[in-house]
Amino acid sequence: MRNEILTSKTLLASICAPIEEPIDNMPASIAEVSSNDDSKLATEPNDVALPEDNDLNVTNDGDYDDDDYDVLDDDYEELDDDSEELDDDSEELDDDSEELDDDSEELDDDSEKKDDDSEKKDDDSEKLDDDSEKLDFSPDINEMNDEFIGKFEFLSPLENPREELNKLVGCAGIKRRIDELIALTKYNQQMEKNFPGCKTHHVSLHSIFLGRPGTGKTTVAKIFGSLLHEAGALSKGHVVVCDRGTFLGSFWGDVERAVRHVVRKSRGGVLMIDEAYLLWSDNPNDPCRLTLQLLMNILADETQRDIAVVLCGYKDRMQKLIATNPGLYSRFPNRFEFEDFTVEELLNITQLRIKEYQYQFTEGAWEKYRQQVEQDFMVHDPQTWGNARYVANLLERIYIQHATRCVKQQLTDKNLFRVLNSDDIAPIEVPHQKRKIGF
C-alpha cells in the first residue's frame, strides 16, 4: 500500500514538474501554449496552484517526502473547510431568501387585504351615495313627526274641510273671514282665465290667531289649510304645528337651521306656531329672539308664496309681541280672534262629542251635566279656562264613571252600555278666579 502511494506521488510530481527544455520536434506554437498554460495555473485566482519546487522538498530520486504531502493535505482540508463555510453561508442566504419570500408573501397578503377593505369601503361609499340620492327632503303629506333639532306635529289635510267648517260651534267671524280669503283666491283665478296676463290682487295668507287655549285655533288651522288647497292657493294643504321648543337647539346656528327646516316642511301647507309670544323675551341672549326675524326674511322672498304662516297665542301677549316688531303688522295682515265659548256653545260642543261615540244622556243626566257646566263657568279663572278642553276633560271623567258602573253592575242589555245616566256625572277640578283685595 505504501509503495502504491509513493508511486502515485512520484507520478504527480513528474506531472507537476516544470518543463525546462522543449520536447524535440514540438512546434513552437504548441510550446508557447504549454508554457502559457503552466503560468496560468499558477496565476489565475480561481484555480488552485500546486506548490513549486522551492516549497516542496524533493528527494534525490525525484520523490517528495511525507511532510510535503501533509502540507498538501492541510491545504486541501482548508479548502474543504472554506467550501463547507461557503455552503453554510449559502444555506443561510437561502434561509434568509426564504424568510424574505415569506415576508413578501405576507406583505402581498396584507396588500390584498387592504385592497379588499378599500374596495369594500368604496362599495359602502357608493351605497351611501345611492341612499343619499334616494332621500327626498321635499315635504311629504304622508309622513309623521320628523326629528331634526326640535319636534313638530304634522297634520294631514281634511277630506271634507267645508263640512268641518260648518260644524264649528260659534266662530261666526272666523268663518266669514275664511270665506272672504277663499273668494278672493277664486276671483284671481277667474281673472287670469278671462284676461290672460292681467295683474291680479295679491292675497297674503299669513295670519294671526288670537285666543285662549281650547277655542279651536288648531282645528281652524287644519280647515284653513285644506280649504286653501281646494281653492288652489296651496299645493298640499297640510299643517305643521310647532312651538318655541321646535327652534331651540344645542349649538350656535341651530335656530336658523330649524326655521329653514320647518319652512321647507311646511311648503304647500300651513306653518302654525303655537304660543308664538314665547319667541320673544327681554333677555338679549335668548336665541329664539332671532326666530321671527329669520322667518320674515324668508317670507320676503317672492318664491315663498306656497305657504301660509299662522302665529297663535293669547290676545294680550300677542299684541305685545307685535309691538316689539312693527314688521309683523304688514307681514301678517289677517286677524282671527277666537272668543271664549258661552255655556250654550259648550253644551253644543258636548253633544257633538258624545255623538262621535254614539252615547246619549238620560234626561236626568243631561240636566245634572248642564248644572255642572254652568257652575264651573261662573267661577272659572279666564286665564286658565280650557273652553273646549274643559268639555273634553269633563266627558273623559264621565266615561270613566260610566265604564266602572257598567262593569260592576254586569249589565246584560248591551244598549245600556251607551246610555249615560245621572250616576255617571262627576265633577272635575276647575281653578277659580282669584278675588282682588282692596281697591
The verdict on residue 36 lying in a domain is no
Tell which of 290, 308, 338 closes a domain: 338
Tens of pLDDT, residues 177-217: 999 999 999 998 899 899 988 888 888 899 999 999 999 99
pLDDT at 329: 84
Q: Give the residue ranges of the chain where pLDDT is below 50.
A: 1-9, 11-12, 15-16, 18-64, 128-148, 439
pLDDT at position 288, please?
85
Domain region containing 349: 343-424
Q: Tens of pLDDT along 35-48?
A: 444 444 444 444 44
Q: Average per-residue pLDDT in the chain?
A: 78
Q: Are 308 and 267 in contact (CB under 8 A)?
A: no
Q: Which helix (H) or strand (E) holds 266?
A: helix 254-266
**Is position 222 within any domain?**
yes
Buried b (16+ CB within 10 A) or exposed e, 294-310: bbbebbeeeeeeebbbb
Q: Are residues 277 and 228 in the same domain?
A: yes
Please check whether residues 164 and 215 belong to one and the same domain. Answer: yes
Domain end, chosen from 338, 356, 389, is at: 338
User: Same structural domain for residues 296 and 407?
Assistant: no
CA dihedral (406, 410, 411, 416) in degrees, to 10, reads 10
CATH of the domain at 410: 1.10.8.60
Alpha helices in 337-387 (DSSP H): 343-356, 363-379
Residues 112 and 188 in one domain: no
Taking the complete model, does pTM exceed 0.85, yes or no?
no
Taking only the tens place, the pLDDT of each residue in 144-171 is: 334 445 688 999 999 999 999 999 998 8
40: in domain: no
Residue 58 shares a structural domain with residue 117: yes
Q: Which of the listed residues 278, 310, 338 is the one where a domain comes to its end?
A: 338
Is 169 inside a domain boundary? yes
Q: Say if CB 324 and CB 280 are below 8 A apart.
A: yes
Let me know whether 267 and 360 are in one domain: no
| 349 and 334 share one domain | no
pLDDT at 119: 62
Cell of 243: 312651538
Spatial neighbors of 79 by CB under 8 A, at least 6 apart, are 48
Assess whether 416 and 280 both reside in one domain: no
Residue 180 in any domain: the answer is: yes
The pLDDT, as a whole number, for residue 104 is 63
- 314 and 176, same domain (yes or no): yes
- Same domain? 121 vs 181: no
**Does 325 fall in a domain?**
yes
pLDDT at 40: 42
Q: Quote the number of domains for the chain.
A: 3
CATH number at residue 314: 3.40.50.300
For residues 247 and 125, state if they share a domain.
no
With a CB cutoff of 8 Å and minimum separation 6, the contacts of 384 are 431
Same domain? 302 vs 360: no
Ramachandran class of 342: left when φ > 0, alpha when ψ lies in -120 to 50, beta otherwise: beta
Domain assignment of residue 437, yes or no: no
